[in-house]
Structure 1
Amino acid sequence: MNYFEETKRLFDDSALFYIITADMDGKYSYINKHYAKEFSHVHTNLVGKPYYITMHTDDMKTCIEVSTKCFENPTKLFPATIRKHDGKGDYVYTQWEYRAMFDDEKNPAGIFCLGYNITKFVGEELLLQKANEKIEKNNNTLKNIIFQQSHLVRAPLSNIIGLASILDKKILDSDTSNICDMIVESSKQLDEIIRSIDTTART
């Protein structure tokens, strides 16, 4: 228990980290100043109050599961992401590491938790997720364009080139023959442009 007490003293004035402990009845037995300030809207004195009053009810299950793992593996730390009431009708996201506490007789004494606010990080993750979804949507659109160019556009374009070539071999007056030559040449140029776009899009 001594190293828990030392850690509590070291982080009692932390402006970044939360330190809390909960007893075996699931009530706060200690909170550092930063945690007390951040969640004073829930209660001005959280010590002695049930641990769950600060959190989203759906995350109570996470706390129970992680705490159970702590007592099953007393030398290990276990992570947990918990949503806490922000006092404005919404939640802040907090990241924690839990560890089981034992008294001098090696009996379970509670849970020690070190945490910090990750709301900004979660918000950036959501923005990144939306950006990735937009990129994926754009990629699908691009793939559809490539397909249309490769199959739907180039097929009739090849027909135009072929038909113009056939006409050019017929006995035509010079003006019509020149027009056929221009159609063939323009069609080939257009075909090359489509091939180039297709190749660039695939790389």
Structure 2
Amino acid sequence: MGIQKSGKGLLIVLSGPSGAGKGTVCSALRRQAPEVVYSVSATTRQPREGEVDGINYFFKSKEEFKRMIEEGELLEWARYVDNYYGTPRRFVEDRLAEGKNVLLEIEVQGARQVKEHFPEGVFIFLLPPSMKELYARIRGRGTESEEVVEDRMTAARKELDQVHQYDYVVVNDEVAKACQRIRSIMMAEQSRRERIFREQPDWLEGF
């Protein structure tokens, strides 16, 4: 019957330190590759003006969110400033089953949780061109004190220590080039031997 195109999508997990440009790269990637689905997170915080449930976030009460944790409905979750954030498992699995590639932009801690539940995901770590450039980007925002900038640099160094947990490293020297590298990784992963033969172990039957 021959080898057929895989019917299941890829889960692409993108992480990187603050200032690496994750949000910018993801926004550009969504414009370049609109077929890629951007994972929608669940949160207990109140919607901001213009935000739509199911588009920007899945807005949940704390009781609903805790139930989702207890019933294993989240691929990963964390608590920030008295609010919960997490990735609904059902949304991701349904999109993957439809054959769509799903992009998940999360921090290192969340990526570690996802890998436990979904080891077949594609894990990409986004790097700045240098630590000097990272510092310049964080400081250049002009919205944070020097103390906060130093705290972010300390956190970045700790996150960089986790790079060995990822399958690929992409340097964000230019956004367009970083997007192209990520798209190339996606194309290569769809042709990975293990993925094809795992889904079609009997492809030689009939010869």
| Largest Rg, 1 or 2 | 1
Give the TM interval when normalised to the shorter protein.
Answer: under 0.3
TM-score (norm 1): 0.25
TM-score (norm 2): 0.24
- By percentage of residues, which structure has more helix? 1
